[in-house]
């Protein structure tokens, strides 16, 4: 190369986890988009047949658009895959609203809650209490009382204190509360990997190793207010590999066998938790519900046969795998700032207040130009929010057409889980609405916050 020139084509690309740009930046990978998302003949992204340009006009940006058709189809796929011999509990913390509770109820799913607020939402929207399970490592006595009074189906006990607390409340109310015991099985599974170290060093559950879990069973069986129905395990999140569930199921069944040997009781249920992964980008390959159901069923049946136990009723608790893929976030581009030799920063009208996952977990997302198509060259971008943090990143590395301009709409797929539910008012941001779309009709299920909402809490 001649002195004084710089060959950009030869220069090392900036650091990041991106692969080459897709051949067609306008293409939509069905893996990451909700079921009814398409482009119309003008190139505009549509959901349920409605163009996002019109949706943006009507509902504003940023906003979450939730494909109700897809949500219901996923509920049914889980329900059908597990059949009548198992229970599917939707993990409400992924995203909960009254509309969601009604859809779950209609599609025959049960519901997990982990706070008084989630329980109140579930009951208000008419979910029968018997179909709700209550989790969490520090439920207050008031929350426990509310749950037991309502006739909640399961309370998942997470500590020795809680065993006594729930028994006490049940005693006062004169009922026998069905409970499970949450155990830590000594495996922790996270994105793409399977870690078998440092697993017991966490706040949830009672460890199988060292006998804490067995001691919890002993104590729970002695208390009149408790009806111990099973053992519960939840090993992590965004899991693709079934190996973690395999170890978990084996160890839970071992405990069931020990309980039988020591107490002469066969506990009738095991809950294997949630954590099934979804496709955030084209690189992720999630399993279908029927594959997961088959694998879990086989593992449990095999382990129970070898332990001489009747196969217990299995339950699972997918949150992300149901709601995650069903929604996308729509943003408007405000500024486009090229940094020579690095990448272009694209600022949108939301950010870490509507999607904290990128900052919190280094989560990866993709993004597409939604209000039109473009044949311009790909440019490497980072999509950032409008908050006062340099870590306020929505999409760390992606390619968008080089003619991107303020006013364009961007859509980020797979934001249905843990985005609106973790949204904050940082910088006094107004949390975005959730708009459900079904067969050509759009309706707000959670409205946008207003400045009045903010000021109402601020009593001066
Ligand atoms: C969070 C959680 C789930 C749901 O996890 P996903 O990754 O959303 O499937 C299920 N069960 C328990 C106990 C949880 O804490």
- Distance, in Å, from the CA atom of 27 to the CA atom of 18, rounded to the nearest integer, reads 17
Tens digits of residue pLDDT in 245-279: 989 999 999 999 999 999 999 999 999 999 999 99
Query: Relative to the CA of 236, which ligand 1 atom is closest?
Result: 7
How many Cα atoms within 13 Å fall on the side-chain side of residue 37?
Answer: 29
Percent of the chain clearing pLDDT 90 (strictly above): 87
DSSP secondary-structure letter at 141? H
Q: Is 388 a catalytic residue?
A: yes
Q: CATH number of the domain at 135-318, out of 3.40.140.10, 3.40.50.300, 1.20.210.10, 3.20.20.10?
A: 3.20.20.10
Tens digits of residue pLDDT in 78-121: 999 999 989 999 999 999 999 999 999 999 999 999 999 999 99
Beta-carbon contacts of residue 364 (< 8 Å; ≥ 6 apart) = 17, 280, 281, 358, 395, 396
Concatenating the DSSP letter of every residue in 310-328 gives PPPEEEE--SHHHHGGGEE
Q: Which helix (H) or strand (E) holds 68?
A: helix 68-82
Give 191's pLDDT tier (boundaries 50, 70, 90).
low
Task: Indicate the pTM of the whole model.
Answer: 0.94
Which of 136, 319, 361 has most ligand 1 atoms within 8 Å of CB, for mutation?
319
Residues with CB under 6 A from ligand 1: 91, 93-94, 112, 135, 234, 237, 273-276, 317-321, 417
Average pLDDT in the chain: 93
The answer to whether 8-67+325-455 and 135-318 have equal CATH topology is no
Taking CB atoms within 8 Å and a gap of at least 24, the contacts of 17-21 are 17/364, 17/396, 17/397, 18/380, 18/397, 18/398, 18/399, 19/283, 21/378, 21/399
DSSP secondary-structure letter at 428? G
Instruction: Give me the CATH code for the 8-67+325-455 domain, please.
Output: 2.40.37.10
What does the domain layout of the chain look like in residue ranges? 8-67+325-455, 135-318
The tokens for 135 are 């989790």
Of 397, 439, 445, 440, the C-alpha closest to 420 is 445
Supply the residue whose CA is at minimum distance from atom 7 of ligand 1.
275
Beta-carbon contacts of residue 84 (< 8 Å; ≥ 6 apart) = none
Beta-carbon contacts of residue 414 (< 8 Å; ≥ 6 apart) = 32, 278, 279, 280, 324, 325, 327, 328, 365
Query: Relative to the CA of 318, which ligand 1 atom is closest?
Result: 9
């Amino acid at each position: 190369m001649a002195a004084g020139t710089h060959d950009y084509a030869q220069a090392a690309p900036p650091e990041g986890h991106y692969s080459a740009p897709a051949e067609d930046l306008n293409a939509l990978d069905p893996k990451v988009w909700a079921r009814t998302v398409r482009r119309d003949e003008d190139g505009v992204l549509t959901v349920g047949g409605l163009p996002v340009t019109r949706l943006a006009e009507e509902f504003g940006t940023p906003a979450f658009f939730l494909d109700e058709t897809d949500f219901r189809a996923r509920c049914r796929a889980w329900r059908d895959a597990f059949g009548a011999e198992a229970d599917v509990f939707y993990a409400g913390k992924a995203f909960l609203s009254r509309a969601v509770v009604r859809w779950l109820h209609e599609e025959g799913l049960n519901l997990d809650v982990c706070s008084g607020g989630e329980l109140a939402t579930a009951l208000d929207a008419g979910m029968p209490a018997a179909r709700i399970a209550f989790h969490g490592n520090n439920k207050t006595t008031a929350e426990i009382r509310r749950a037991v009074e309502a006739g909640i189906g399961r309370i998942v006990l997470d500590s020795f204190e809680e065993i006594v607390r729930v028994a006490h409340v049940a005693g006062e109310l004169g009922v026998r509360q069905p409970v499970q015991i949450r155990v830590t099985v000594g495996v922790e599974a996270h994105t793409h990997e399977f870690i078998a170290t440092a697993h017991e060093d966490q706040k949830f559950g009672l460890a199988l190793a060292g006998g804490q879990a067995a001691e919890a069973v002993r104590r729970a069986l002695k208390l009149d207010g408790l009806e111990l129905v099973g053992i519960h395990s939840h090993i992590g999140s965004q899991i693709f590999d079934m190996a973690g569930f395999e170890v978990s199921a084996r160890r839970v069944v071992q405990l069931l066998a020990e309980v039988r040997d020591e107490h002469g009781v066969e506990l009738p249920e095991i809950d294997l938790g949630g954590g099934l992964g979804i496709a955030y980008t084209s690189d992720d390959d999630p399993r279908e519900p029927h594959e997961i159901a088959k694998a879990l069923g086989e593992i449990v049946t095999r382990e129970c046969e070898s332990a001489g136990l009747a196969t217990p009723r299995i339950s699972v608790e997918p949150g992300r795998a149901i709601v995650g893929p069903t929604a996308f976030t729509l943003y408007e581009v405000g500024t486009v700032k090229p940094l020579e030799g690095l990448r272009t920063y694209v600022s949108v009208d939301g950010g870490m207040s509507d999607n904290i996952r990128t900052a919190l977990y280094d989560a990866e997302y993709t993004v597409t130009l939604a209000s039109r198509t473009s044949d311009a060259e790909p440019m490497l971008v980072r999509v950032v929010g409008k908050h006062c943090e340099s870590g306020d990143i929505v999409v760390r590395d992606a390619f968008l057409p080089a003619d991107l301009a303020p006013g364009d709409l961007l859509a980020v797929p797979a934001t249905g889980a843990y985005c609106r539910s973790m949204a904050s008012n940082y910088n006094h941001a107004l949390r975005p609405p959730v708009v459900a779309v079904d067969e050509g009709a759009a309706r707000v299920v959670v409205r946008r916050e207003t400045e009045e909402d903010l000021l109402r809490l601020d009593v001066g």
